[in-house]
Amino acid sequence: MFGFIFRRLLWMIPSFFAVTVVAFVIIQLPPGDFVTSYAADLATSGSPADSATLDALRVRYGLDQPMVVQYLTWVGNAFRGDLGMSFEYRSPVASIIWDRLGMTTLVAFCTLAFVWLVAFPVGIFSAVKQYSIGDYAVTFLSFLGMATPSFLLALVVMYLSVEFLGYSVGGLFSPEQVNAPWSWAKVIDLLGHLWIPVVVLGVAGIAALVRIMRANLLDELGKPYVETGRAKGLPEATLILRYPTRVALNPFISTVGWVLPVLVSGDVIVSSVLSLPTSGPILIQALKTQDMYLGGALIMFQCVLVLIGTLLSDILLAFVDPRIRYDN
Amino acid sequence: MTISSEPAAETGPPMAHSTPKRDSASQWRLMWWQFRRHRLAMVSSFVLLLIAFVGLFCEFLAPFSPDAFSPRYTYAPPQRLHLFDRNEEGSLVFRPYVNGYKVTIEQAALRRVFTIDENVKYPVGLFVKSDPYPMWGGLFTLETKLFGPLKKGDPLYLLGADRLGRDMLSRIVYGTRISMSIGLVGVALSLMLGIILGGISGYKGGMVDNVIQRVIEFILSLPTTPLWLGLAAAMPNNWPPLRIYFAITLILSLIGWTSLARVIRGRFLSLRTEDFVTAARLDGASEKRIIFRHMAPSFVSHIIAEVSLAIPAMILAETALSFLGLGLQPPIVSWGVLLQEAQNIRSIVTAPWLFAPGVAVVIAVLSLNFVGDGLRDAADPYRQ
């Protein structure tokens, strides 16, 4: 087991490396570099910088070096916590993103828990009562859930709340709590707002997971061991929960691997609609203004977040499923 | 193609007992019979045909040009189309019309409020004359629209008007072409990448397979939207619309090819060791002949099913990108671009009909999913 965890951790190294390369490529993609945008910025504000100053800046940030060197400098600085400067905010990237990434993590993991809590019983119900009215309703709703873009759902929720509740449901805190220090009141206030993005984000994941759970359980329900249990007189509920459900559960846990990327993706769009203080809105803002150090850092950490989530789910799966023995 | 309203007995021989007809039917005929049994998929393919028709003939079907604006009708609400009208003698005759608007200024909010004015009637007709417009990008010029107001300049807003008084219906009809074609072109590109890389991976196996699989796993483990956004943000914003269109499809397929490649690899792997492939190889058939003559018939149907499930994902991705303002840009009309109008809460509260493009997205994606589901069930007619 520990051998497996060790090898799985080792496998994270090339993944991390690849993520940093992806982020660096995205930072480098727009034409021009950091200094060109800086010069353009100065020119629009009416005090154009002379080319000597710009060249000095290039040397200082190592922009005259070959790409590989630039990449290594950037990664080296990133490890020491220096992620470059943001133009829009005129401050270091690192000082902007941590709070935001914390909120993204919170929203993503709450949604994941919600997705599991709902999809698990609904999936079992849908499989056990196959072809009943309830099953058809669940099937229809899950297809609808998969077909609705999450931002559209967020817009509809906003519309309904303004139309019928008379106020807008954006944000994660009430106005008076936004800048308050952390306290119980603030946590409770957060929980009061958190459920809306969690539900909006969760719908697509729930829809997909219900389909998977249903298919897995249907495969198991017809097997002889279920019939044996039934013949021995086990109560139906005990039988289903104790045997086929446990077998069907494994793919369920491993879905973290793809549900988490979907959630983080969805968070980017939904939070800009619901104006949540997560990393989504500033990522979009940064990309629109080509504030690439900020954008690249955010993309990198969102990917890292997902990689860590996948790692946790793999380890969890190895614990839960006695059939999985990764040791050779 | 018919919608499956007829009894199941007539839609093909029963699958349970083998009739001679079933025994002699070709693979594709068996698939068709199997597909027909999936009612939702049948209804959805009908809907898809309709959508494709709208996309193909959008210039003719839309009553107005998508850019025709009219400041008088900013945020005008949808009108109801009345098909029958009373003539002078008071009996009902077929004479379609829509009602006009009464405009009042709301003093407190300083905004115009439209109410439907039952007394004003604007007649609506089929095959009405319009200004000449280019069909299919200027291939030829037409002067007839499928329907429109009989008198030029009369308002006709069946789905309401947007911020600039442009007709939502016409814009959605035009958006159909862009949104659906992005899905098709994007999936075609992904399929090419998927077939090449997945095919090599599955057919060669060994080290090559290992490397390609690790790359695919890595890409699959990344959140797609931030990457799409990052790549899209790198596009210079002075590019012409057509180039942006192709750049966006390329970006979508660069990340979207992985799942298709996986399916293709899986098929290749399982077929590679089949007896009939070994037999063909021992017979001295060339690699090309083995792949296209012997292996292709058993995996093409599966790939078609997977492709039809990949298209809706592309459409949703394009919609999200454009909605955020990093995808297609306004002179192009796609459903995502239209939804940009619905971005702030003020405008959707004033004009809920701005959601209409979203409804179009949901219908298109839903039908594609159902058809894909039906195709997947039908992909292997020899099962059971």
**CATH number of the CATH domain containing B358:** 1.10.3720.10
Instruction: Determine, yes or no, domain membership for A5.
Output: no
Band of the pLDDT at B47, cuts 50, 70, 90? very high
User: Are A283 and B229 a contacting pair at CB < 8 A?
Assistant: yes
For the four alpha carbons of A228, A134, A207 and B175, in that order, the dihedral sign comes to positive
The average pLDDT across B37-57 equals 88
Spatial separation of the C-alpha atoms in residues B172 and B167, rounded to whole Å: 9
CATH number of the domain enclosing A263: 1.10.3720.10
Residue A266 near chain B (CB below 8 Å): yes
Asked if residue B254 and residue B356 are part of one domain, the reply reads yes
pLDDT digits 0-9 by tens, B304-335: 888 888 888 889 888 988 888 888 887 788 89
Q: How many domains does chain B have?
A: 2
User: Does the residue B6 lie in any domain?
Assistant: no
Using one digit for the tens of pLDDT, what is the confidence trace for A117-131?
898 889 889 888 888
Give this complex's ipTM.
0.80
Please report whether residue A223 resides in a domain: yes
Task: Tally the C-alpha atoms within 13 A of residue B152's C-alpha that lie toward its C-beta.
Answer: 7
Does A12 reach chain B within 8 Å, measured CB to CB?
A: no
pLDDT in tens, A179-229: 777 777 778 877 777 888 888 888 888 888 888 888 888 888 888 888 899
The residue from A34, A59, A93 where one domain ends is A93
Same domain, B264 and B333: yes
One domain for residues B180 and B158 = no
For chain B, say whether A144 makes contact (Cβ under 8 Å): yes
Which residue in A227, A253, A250, A241 sits closest to A127, CA to CA?
A241
- Whether residue A7 lies within 8 A of chain B, CB to CB, comes out as no
B298 & B159 share domain? no
Cβ atoms of B167 and B156 closer than 8 Å: yes
Which chain A residue has its CA at the smallest distance from B214's CA? Answer: A15
In this predicted structure, what is the pLDDT of residue B1?
40
Residue B358 and residue A155 in contact, taking contact as beta carbons nearer than 8 Å: yes
pLDDT in tens, A40-89: 767 777 766 677 777 777 777 667 777 788 888 888 887 777 777 777 77
Tell which of A93, A127, A157 closes a domain: A93
Instruction: Examine the domain organization and report whether B211 and B281 are in the same domain.
Output: yes
> Which residues of chain A neighbour B320 with C-beta distances below 8 Å?
149, 151, 269
3-state secondary structure of A93: helix
Assigned token pair, A265: 């993706």
The verdict on residue A132 lying in a domain is yes
B246 and B101 inside one domain:
no
Domain match, A248 and A272 both = yes
* Final residue of a structural domain among A76, A93, A110: A93
Domain range spanning residue A235?
99-320
Same domain, A217 and A311: yes
Q: Which residue has the tokens 């417009």?
A: B133
B10 to chain A, closest Cα gap in Å: 23
What average pLDDT does this structure show over A251-270?
77
- How far, in Å, are B202, B203, B274, B279, B289 from residue B283 at the CA level? 22, 18, 14, 6, 11
Q: Say whether A21 sits in a helix, a strand or coil.
A: helix
| Residue B317, domain member (yes or no) | yes
Question: What domain range is B148 assigned to?
Answer: 74-165
Reported as a single tens digit per residue, the pLDDT across B338-381 is 888 888 777 888 888 888 899 999 999 999 988 888 888 787 77
Do residues B208 and B316 share a domain? yes
Residues A110 and A240 in one domain: yes
B11 domain residue, yes or no? no
More confident residue, A178 or B188: B188
**B199 in a structural domain:** yes
In this structure, the answer to whether residues A49 and A177 fall within a common structural domain is no
A34 occurs within a structural domain? yes
Contact A159 B366 (CB under 8 A): no
Residues B30, B22: Cα–Cα separation, whole Å: 7
- The answer on A264 and A298 residing in a single domain is yes
Residues B115 and B206 in one domain: no
* Whole-number Å distance between alpha carbons of A231 and B251: 56
pTM of the model: 0.83
Interface test with A, best of B219, B224, B225, B239 (most A CBs within 10 A): B225
Asked whether residue B299 is assigned to any structural domain, the reply reads yes
